[in-house]
Every structure is written in structure tokens, then in C-alpha cells.
Structure 1
Amino acid sequence: MQAEELRERLRHVYWIGGGSGGGKSTTARVLAGRYGWRLYATDDVMGEHAGRTTRQEAPLLHAFLAMDMDERWVNRSPEVMLETFHWFHGEGFGLIVEDLLRLPREPCVVVEGFRLLPRLVRPLLAAPWQAVWLLPTPDFRQAAFRSRSAPGEGFVWRTSDPDRAARNLAARDGMFTDGLRDETARLRLPTIHVESTMTEDDLVERVTKAFRR
């Protein structure tokens, strides 16, 4: 499919990317309810997408699936975790596009998730304001991780060292967010810096304005 045709077929799609813990899911859910949009959460289809790929198509993904929990989150440095995490390298992104192309053009679709890498989304945009990336500040991100890492909650508690796993994960995601900041700046794509003083309503309204709604 030609790039121009692809952009036209996805003209009804709004994209919310960004770092972990930045409010993507909540904001997308509110906008979907407010405007009657269809919600497509990329986190919800990760398992399905993993099952639709081969080792040849997604080598990093299949290497990750072969690891145990400690190999994934405890025994490797955050730098190595960043460099080898499949979704951060765009593996399976084409499956997101395939899913979106199968959806009706009405109503509009809001798609959200950290898998929406700026360099992959940019060629699909009929206009830059169809997408925005939420970049949580370190303070905001730490607060989000504390709330998600309560004793007994989250996958880090399935490792032998939950504290170390949580630190590794937080460091990795911090570096990922820094990379998003650099990439969106280079591609001149819209971003919102999500600070700890920002309320949920504030964030929703800023995203609404970014989408020119």
C-alpha cells in the first residue's frame, strides 16, 4: 500500500504514545467516552500479537519469551533491557496497523500505548496534530511506579528480587522516555510533559487541545 493511501485510510485515527506511567490509558479512555470514539489499547493486544509473529519476524520478542522472570527483570542491566526490549524496537508494530486498517472508519479511533514509536507513527499521519506523546517527568514517573509496585502487586513480585526488578524497570523506562523526548523533538511531533502537579482533568484537556478538538 502506498504511503499516501495509508495516511488517508488512517485519517480517522488519533494516536497517544509516551513513556510508562504517563497517563496514556486514562486519557484515551476519557476521550473515547467523551466523543464516542473507539478505543484501541496496544497493551491489550500484546499477547495476541506475540502469537502472530515468528522468530524470524520478531527475534527480540521470541528471545524475551524464552527467558524466565529473573532473566527478564533482575539479572540484566537497565541498559541491556532497553537495548533488547522488542516493543521498543518496533517489533509487531505492523500488526497494530493491520488491526487499525480492519476497523470501520466511523467512529474515530483513539489508539494508545508505549509501542507507538514516533519514527513509526510519523509516516502514518495525515497531519502532525493527529498524534501526541506524553512524557512523564521523573517525579511523576516515580509516583506512578510506587503506586504500581505495592507489595504483592505487579509482575515484579514474580521475580526473586522484586525491589531490584522494580529499580531496573524504572531506570529502563526512564531511559526510554528520554529517547522519546529526543525523537519527538527531532521529528517535530507534539509532546506534553506530564508533571506531578498536573491533574487528570488537566492532562485530558491538554491532549484535547493538541488534537484540535
Structure 2
Amino acid sequence: MYWIGGGSGAGKSTVARRLADEHGLRLYATDDAMAEHARRSPAPDSPALAEFLAMDMDERWVRRSPETMLATFHWFRGEGFDLIVDDLLRLPPGPGVLVEGFRLLPDLVLPWAAPGQAVWLLPTPGFRRAAFDSRGSTWQIADRTSDPPRALHNLMERDRMFTDRLRAQTRSLGLPVIDVDPTLSERDLVSRVGRALGLGPPPS
């Protein structure tokens, strides 16, 4: 298994799709499993998720500080990671698997990742905002609140702090990271991630 974690808006999904196609790997996107994992998570085992689901949009994104959002967000706390592992272990025999998503917290991935087969992408705030703008998703959450500008500020600040946390965790565990900023082209990013994972050039 190969693992690509990192902050939101870092290009993980794009890079993972390219590498999976080029190297004949099965792709497992943890974002795609979030709704199912939320349904499969009993409240006693996922208290932060249960609390989040009980909130309205303003409680989630307007009336709490970014620091509180960071500290209490269920996926940032590792809730549901066991379900990711369960899904991966149930996959039928076949090609290697490329796993990607922000839910891949360094300390949780480390026991499952072979040396040299995991990397974290850490976007600058400017790159993250540009990525959301290009997707058309910048205001997707914020526009469902009573104060979209404040909600967007809180969300972006929470994600910035999450990226800073990932940097500290990967550094303490000696895990590789790639800094993603606007000067890095998609092609170069794909190439750097492929090298970090030991995939080599795509088969001809």
C-alpha cells in the first residue's frame, strides 16, 4: 500500500489519480468513504462525530473559533481510521493500493506503511485558496451559514492550523513531506510524489 496524506487543497486527489493510472494501482480515496464511515461509526466510539452531526451549520462554522474546530473535528482526531483499515483489508487480491486523503494522520498511518511508501503534502495558504477557487468549492460550506465570510475565514484558518500540525507530527516521526506552493506545477508534483513513494517512472 502507498499512502498520500496532507492538508486540504494540496492536490492529493489529482496526484493520486495520475499515479494510480500510470502505475496500474487501485485507488482508495478516503473522502469518498466519509459518509459511509459516518453511518458505520457508533456514537460511543465516535463522540466527536456525534457532537458534530448534532450541530447546525452556524454552530459548526460560525460560532466556534478555528482552534476549537481543529481540536474537536472528528476526522482530525482519528475517528473512523479503523474503518479505513477495515476497507483496505477487505480488498480482493490484485494490484497495489494507493490510499489518499487528509484523514491519513501520520501516527495512525505509520504502523501500516512500509518504509518509503508514505508521504504528506503540505500546501501553503495561498495554494489552498487557489485550489478551492479553481474547484468552485470555496464557498460551498460557508454559503450554507448565516455569515459566509466569517465561516470561510474560520474554515481556512482551521485548515492552516491542521497543516501546521501535520508538519510537526511528520517531523517528529521522521516522515517525508512535500511543500506545495503556487510555483510547483502539477506535473512536477506528481513526479516528486512518485519518487517519494518509490514508484519510479511510469511503465512505457
Report if the CA contact (8 A) 2:3-2:113 is conserved: no
Letter paired with 1:21: G
The alpha-carbon deviation at position 56 of structure 1 amounts to: 0.4
Partner of 2:73: 85
Q: Give the SS at the match of 2:184.
A: coil
CA distance in structure 2 between the partners assigned to 1:182 and 1:48 by the alignment: 30
TM-score normalized with structure 1 length: 0.90
Of 49, 54, 60, the residue aligned with 1:72 is 60
**1:36-55 alignment, distance < 5 Å:** 36-55=24-43
- The number of equivalent residue pairs is 199
Look up the equivalent residue of 1:68 and give its one-letter code: D
Structure 1, unpaired ranges of 5+: 1-12
The corresponding residue for 1:4 is: none
Give 1:157 deviation, angstroms: 1.2
Any gaps of 5 or more consecutive residues in structure 2?
200-204
Cα shift readout 1:101-160 (whole Å, capped 9, x = no counterpart) = 001242111110000000000111222x11000001222123224445668x51221111
| Alpha-carbon distance in structure 2 between the residues aligned to 1:66 and 1:178 | 28
Q: 1:42-66, CA deviations, whole angstroms, 9 ceiling, x for partnerless residues?
A: 0111010000011100000010000
Two-structure CA RMSD over aligned residues (Å): 1.3
TM-score (structure 2 length as normaliser): 0.94
| Structure 2 residue aligned with 1:132 | 119
Task: Return structure 1 stretches of 4+ with deviation > 4 angstroms.
Answer: 148-151
Partner of 1:15, secondary structure, is strand
1:154 aligns with 2:132: no
Which residue in 1 is equivalent to 2:109?
A: 121
SS class of match (1:134): strand
Is contact 1:145–1:170 with CA below 8 Å preserved after alignment? no
Which amino acid is 1:122 matched to?
L
Given the alignment of the two structures, is residue 33 of structure 1 paired with residue 21 of structure 2, yes or no? yes
